[in-house]
């Protein structure tokens, strides 16, 4: 049987980190998903002047402070990407590639998605379009798959799919030279539209169109509505109240993902509120 966490925190930016230190202080059994590099939005900031206590700072400095803080509190980051979360009534099931985690409450702190979906992407989601190649690869045994990789990590997923599919096209959306298996065709092009009838049949790119049974869009973050079915979203942001509660019982959200202003200190503050609300939910539902 899976161990059931009190709180699963998704995202290692200021919102998720703040949620995690407060979960630790409250002595909860929690898991924090994200990256040991924390968040590119922390490390890339050239100058930070509005984070209380750290004047004249910059992203790499703030990142080190954040890292020290969680290390001091013995908080570890589970370096995995959560692909989907399902509410099971009294708990949540979190899908991470071939694993499932369980938690009584969830805090979504995934940041904002800047990559707009391409035409047809949302329409064909689950009908040939997917966000996790390793999860769905067995469906494409002997078939043609196009993989749009928004980061280097997508290469590993492409390699895995190429062991099962009859043909894999890899479309890198980043500048570095991709390093993928030799049986994968690399297309340096821009995807424009997913086409099909009831299921995906084509991926239209700027320069060419390819026949494909499956199209994987491997992005840094998944839109909240796709991450958790049933979640109320408006203009790409999760709708929350002042307690950072979403419309789904036991699910809370914090940081850029719930709306502007996009700022570190707001995200950190909301992470704190989300944890306190999760704690009071846990206490009430003991």
Binding site for ligand FAD (CB under 6 A): 10-16, 33-35, 39, 41-42, 44-45, 48, 50, 81-82, 109-111, 220-222, 255-257, 262-265, 267
Distance CA 145, CA 129 (A): 10
In the complex, the smallest distance separating the C-beta of residue 253 from ligand FAD, rounded to whole angstroms, is: 9
Nearest distance from residue 187's CB to ligand FAD, in Å?
A: 26
**Considering the complex, what minimum distance in angstroms separates the CB of residue 99 from ligand FAD?**
13
CB of 182 to ligand FAD, least distance (A): 30
Nearest-10 crossing angle of helices 59-72, 14-25: 20
Least distance in Å: CB of 144 to ligand FAD? 27
What token pair was written down for 123?
Answer: 């329409």
Phi-psi region of 271 (alpha: psi -120 to 50; beta: other; left: phi over 0): alpha
CA 77/CA 70 separation, integer angstroms: 9
Q: Are strands 92-96 and 99-108 parallel, antiparallel or unpaired?
A: antiparallel
Half-sphere exposure of 35 (CA within 13 A, CB side): 13
Between 105 and 162, whose beta carbon lies closer to ligand FAD?
105
Q: Residue 54 or residue 189: which is nearer to ligand FAD going by CB? A: 54
Nearer to ligand FAD, 184 or 222 (CB): 222
Max CA pair span of the chain:
58
CB atoms within 10 A of CB 26: 17
The tokens 């790499």 sit on which residue? 60
Q: Find the helix packing angle between 14-25 and 264-284, rounded to 10°.
A: 40
Nearer to ligand FAD, 23 or 48 (CB): 48
User: Measured from the CB atom, is 115 or 201 closer to ligand FAD?
Assistant: 115
Of the pair 38, 279, the CB lying nearest ligand FAD is at: 38
Minimum distance between the CB of residue 68 and ligand FAD, rounded to whole angstroms? 17
Nearer to ligand FAD, 93 or 186 (CB): 93
Min dist. Cβ of residue 74 to ligand FAD (A)? 20
Please say whether the beta carbons of 207 and 186 come within 8 A: no
Distance, CA of 14 to CA of 22 (rounded, Å):
12
């Amino acid at each position: 049987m899976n161990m059931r966490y009190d709180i699963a925190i998704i995202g290692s930016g200021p919102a998720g980190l703040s949620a995690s230190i407060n979960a630790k202080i409250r002595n909860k059994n929690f898991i924090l998903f994200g990256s040991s590099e924390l968040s590119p939005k922390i490390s890339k900031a050239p100058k930070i002047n509005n984070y209380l206590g750290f004047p004249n700072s910059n992203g790499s400095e703030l990142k080190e402070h954040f890292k020290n803080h969680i290390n001091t509190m013995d908080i570890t980051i589970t370096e995995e990407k959560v692909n989907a979360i399902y509410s099971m009534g009294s708990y949540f099931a979190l899908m991470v590639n071939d694993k499932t985690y369980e938690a009584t409450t969830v805090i979504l702190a995934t940041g904002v998605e800047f990559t707009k979906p391409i035409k047809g992407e949302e329409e064909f989601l689950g009908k040939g379009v997917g966000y996790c190649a390793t999860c769905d690869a067995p469906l494409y045994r002997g078939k043609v798959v196009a993989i749009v990789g928004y980061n280097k990590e997508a290469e590993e997923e492409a390699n895995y799919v190429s062991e099962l599919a009859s043909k894999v096209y890899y479309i890198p959306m980043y500048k570095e030279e991709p390093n993928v298996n030799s049986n994968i065709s690399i297309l340096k092009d821009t995807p424009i539209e997913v086409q099909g009838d009831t299921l995906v049949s084509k991926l239209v790119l700027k320069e060419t169109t390819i026949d494909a049974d499956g199209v994987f869009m491997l992005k840094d973050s998944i839109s909240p509505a796709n991450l958790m079915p049933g979640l109320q979203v408006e203009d790409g942001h999760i709708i929350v109240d002042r307690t950072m509660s979403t419309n789904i019982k036991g699910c809370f959200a914090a940081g850029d993902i719930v709306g502007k202003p996009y700022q570190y200190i707001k995200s950190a503050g909301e992470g704190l509120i989300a944890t306190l609300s999760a704690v009071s939910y846990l206490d009430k539902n003991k």
